[in-house]
Amino acid sequence: MTASLDQLRARIARIEGIVPDLSAPEERRRVVPTGWPEIDGTLPWVGSAGPGLLGGAVHEILSPDPDDGAATGFLLNLARAFLTARAGALLWSSCRADLYGPGLLAAGLDPARIVIARCRTVQDILWSVEEGLAPPGLAVVAAETGPIDFALSRRLQLAATDSGTPLLLLCPTRKSLWPSAAVTRWQVAAAPGGRTAVELLRCRGGPAGRWVL
């Protein structure tokens, strides 16, 4: 029964345009392996390069502690995966002024392929994100925001689907979960021994999961 419900939800999502139909070859190229086989094997999407994370979709990364760098590190790893698989640059929208070029390089990101939109307000961030999703020329868009309402998250999801560009939203928050149209929602925190605890709280058309990386 659960499998049938998941299939029905996935079909409805495709009809509504929330996620692409992966039967087309060009859509299959949107699926990008994360680099963690244990995670990729859980995700419901299989593309030309095998199972992985869906491009043309919104992926939320929640951090229970705004000062915990584990969530940022997880986002950077996902961004690197998309940059490796796709042409174009990473647009990073943030109010932070402490992004460190050598640190990004150490994380496997070429600073020459990163465009930083340094914003004053969350509204500026969201404006730059929507502008970044409008053309199909970027490899990936990432932004640091707080919780956003469902209507806006759905608009961003539809924009990501139309352009084929993945959107990674980093949301430092200790609040209870809020409604969202994001295709996946992750919670990431530091774990003992310098490792990272990753929990897939929700995945459209697939199961949740938990890993220590």
Q: What 3-state DSSP class applies to 3?
A: helix
Q: Which two tokens stand for residue 199?
A: 């929990």
Residue that wins the pLDDT comparison between 46 and 135: 46
Tell me the pLDDT tens digit for each residue of 167-194.
999 987 766 677 888 999 999 999 999 8
pLDDT at 100 over 50: yes
Share of the chain above pLDDT 70, in %: 81
The pLDDT of residue 142 = 94
Mean pLDDT of 103-130: 85
Strand partners, 115: 91
Tell me the pLDDT tens digit for each residue of 8-59.
555 555 545 455 555 555 555 689 999 999 999 999 988 888 899 999 899 9
Q: What are the backbone angles phi and psi of residue 39, rounded to the nearest 5°?
A: -80, -45
The pLDDT of residue 4 = 61
Q: pTM for the full model? A: 0.86
The pLDDT of residue 26 = 57
Residue in the structure block whose two tokens are 């690197």: 80
pLDDT at 141 over 50: yes
Residue that wins the pLDDT comparison between 22 and 90: 90
Mean pLDDT of 129-138: 87
The pLDDT of residue 119 = 87
H helix intervals, 68-169? 70-85, 101-106, 122-133, 150-163
The pLDDT of residue 157 = 92
The pLDDT of residue 69 = 83
Share of the chain above pLDDT 90, in %: 43
DSSP states along 21-74: -TTSHHHHTTEE--S-HHHHTTSSEEETTEEEEESSSEEEEEESSTT-THHHHH
Q: For residue 156, give the nearest of 147, 166, 146, 171 by alpha carbon.
A: 166
The whole-angstrom separation of Cα 114 and Cα 109 is: 8
pLDDT band at 61 (very low <50, low <70, confident <90, very high): very high
Q: What are the backbone angles phi and psi of residue 195, rounded to the nearest 5°?
A: -95, 180
Rounded mean pLDDT of the chain? 83
The pLDDT of residue 15 = 46
